[in-house]
Amino acid sequence: MTYCVALKLNAGLVFASDSRTNAGIDQIACFKKMRSFIKEGDRVIMILSSGNLSITQNAINLLEQKGRREARNIWTVDSMFDVAQLLGECLREVRKQDGVFLAQNNVDASANFIIGGQIQTEDTRLFMVYAEGNFIEAGAETPYFQIGETKYGKPIIDRVITPQTPLSEAVKCVLVSFDSTMRSNLSVGLPIDIACYSQGGLRLDFEQHITQDDPYFSQISRRWSDGLKGVFASLPNPEWLTDAGLNNHLPPDYS
């Protein structure tokens, strides 16, 4: 299983992905699910992927290869909209080529991408590419996209993130979101790749590979867990249950 999330804030973009890949019951390995295409001063493009590993890898490899062989490519287009379109086309091409063979063995050939970044003077943009190759763009109302195991990590993002959130706080929120996901779904696992891009910089400001021993992540994880338990303990018990005489009820001497 995979968990990837990307935020589009006024201050810039934050990208994060886990690295665990599960190809059959006993084949668990780590593959990077974050790819960058960067030419400083010109463009920063980040891609996160989830789904069938051969499909996602080959779609991105094809995107990269076309960057060397075709005129209209990831390095020459002047809008992130075009880049999302190019990625969707590559995904369709790979699925057309491999999909029928995978279908013969009932292998799921679906794949999703989050792609974002900035090209020259265009604003930063963030897109989600669906398994069919079509895509949508993030806006101020929904300033983030998730792919993979999305539900466990969504509530904290919904509670905290707005377009005004500073990058540092956004990174903290993304790590709490990963902590919640990994706690509830063991097939999402460390290391986490996390990257930050400041609007207008046209270079990747910051990239971190968070492993099992990362002291900051361990601290966040422990303090968040303790904090939640503390808040829960501080909530009052239901009065109507007290009234019914069941509060702190002990089982009768029955069995």
Site of interaction with a second copy (CB under 8 A): 10-12, 121, 123, 151-152, 154-156, 158-160, 166-169, 171-173, 175-176, 180, 183-184, 196, 198-201, 205-206, 208, 216, 219-220, 223-225, 227-232, 234-242, 244, 246-252, 254-255
Q: Nearest distance from residue 242's CB to a second copy, in Å?
A: 7
Q: Nearest distance from residue 91's CB to a second copy, in Å?
A: 27
Q: For the CA atoms of 19, 24, 28, 34, what is the dihedral angle to 10 degrees?
A: -20
Q: Give every CB contact of residue 210 below 8 A, 6+ residues apart in sequence.
A: 175, 190, 191, 192, 193, 194, 216, 217
Q: Nearest distance from residue 196's CB to a second copy, in Å?
A: 6
Q: Nearest distance from residue 54's CB to a second copy, in Å?
A: 28
Contact 160, 169 (CB under 8 A): yes
Residue 180 to residues 32, 38, 151, 207: CA-CA distances in angstroms? 20, 31, 10, 22
Q: Which is nearer to a second copy, 110 or 199 (CB)?
A: 199
Answer whether the bond into residue 238 is a cis peptide, omega within 30°: no
Q: Nearest distance from residue 57's CB to a second copy, in Å?
A: 28
Token pair 């829960």 is at which residue?
Answer: 232
Q: Which is nearer to a second copy, 83 or 175 (CB)?
A: 175
CA–CA gap between residue 122 and residue 184 (Å, rounded) = 39
Token pair 């209209």 is at which residue?
Answer: 72
